C-alpha cells in the first residue's frame, strides 16, 4: 500500500491551522504537541502513536527536554476572549511568551515553518474540561494511557490537552 505524504495543515478562517482530513500520514512522522502554562503538558507521537508524554513544572524551575528529528511542532496559542479582565489579558501575554520559549527549548534547530500555533477553540472548541479529557482518553490505547501514570492526578489535564492536540495534529481527534 502506498502511503500518501501529508501535505501539511491549511489556514482556517478562525485563526489556526487544520490538518487535512482523510490523509494517510507518512510513516515515522514525529510530532510534538505543547500545552503551555506554568504546568506545561507535552506529547510526542511517531506514526500517529503517542510514544512519550509528560509534564514540565515551570513553576518549580523545570525545563523542557530537547527533541530531535521532529517533523512538526504544534503549540496552543492563548487567545483573548470577550469579557476577559485586564489580569487575564496580561496572563495571555505571559503564556504566549512562555509558549515561544518552550518551543525554542524543545527543538532549537527546527524549521520555523514546521511550528504550528493553534487556538484552543479551534481544535477542542469550548467544551467542558471533563468532557474533553474523557474524549481524549477514549481515543488513547492502553499503552498510551500508561504514559501518564506518573503524572499527579490534579495535573493530568495538562498532559491530556497536549495528547489531544497531538491527536488533532495527526488526524486522530475530531469533534
- Taking only the tens place, the pLDDT of each residue in 48-69 is 999 999 999 988 888 888 888 8
Residues with Cβ within 8 Å of residue 2, at least 6 apart in sequence: none
- Structural domains in the chain plus CATH codes: 10-169 (3.30.420)
Give the pTM.
0.80
Comparing 6-10, 118-122, 129-133, 143-147, the range with the smallest average pLDDT is 6-10
- pLDDT for residue 73 is more than 90: yes
Instruction: Collapse the DSSP code of 124 into the 3-class scheme (helix H, G, I; strand E, B; otherwise coil) and give the result.
Output: helix
**Measured CA distances, 23 to 6, 12, 70, 150 (Å):** 6, 18, 19, 33
Distance CA 88, CA 16 (A): 21
Amino acid at each position: 500500500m502506498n502511503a500518501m505524504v501529508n501535505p501539511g495543515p491549511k489556514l482556517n478562517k478562525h485563526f489556526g491551522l487544520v490538518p487535512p482530513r482523510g490523509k494517510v500520514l507518512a510513516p515515522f512522522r514525529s510530532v510534538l504537541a505543547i500545552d503551555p502554562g506554568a504546568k506545561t503538558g507535552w506529547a510526542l507521537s511517531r506514526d500517529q502513536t503517542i510514544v512519550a508524554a509528560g509534564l514540565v513544572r515551570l513553576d518549580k524551575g523545570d525545563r523542557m527536554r530537547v527533541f530531535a528529528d521532529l517533523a512538526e511542532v504544534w503549540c496552543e496559542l492563548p487567545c483573548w476572549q470577550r469579557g476577559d479582565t485586564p489580569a487575564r489579558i496580561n496572563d495571555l501575554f505571559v503564556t504566549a511568551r512562555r509558549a515561544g520559549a518552550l518551543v525554542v527549548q524543545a527543538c532549537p534547530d527546527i524549521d520555523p515553518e514546521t511550528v504550528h500555533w493553534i487556538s484552543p477553540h479551534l481544535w477542542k472548541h469550548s467544551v467542558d474540561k471533563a468532557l474533553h479529557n474523557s474524549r481524549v482518553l477514549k481515543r488513547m490505547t492502553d499503552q498510551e494511557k500508561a504514559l501518564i501514570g506518573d503524572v499527579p492526578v490534579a495535573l493530568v489535564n495538562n498532559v491530556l490537552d497536549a495528547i489531544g492536540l497531538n491527536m488533532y495534529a495527526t488526524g486522530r481527534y475530531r469533534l
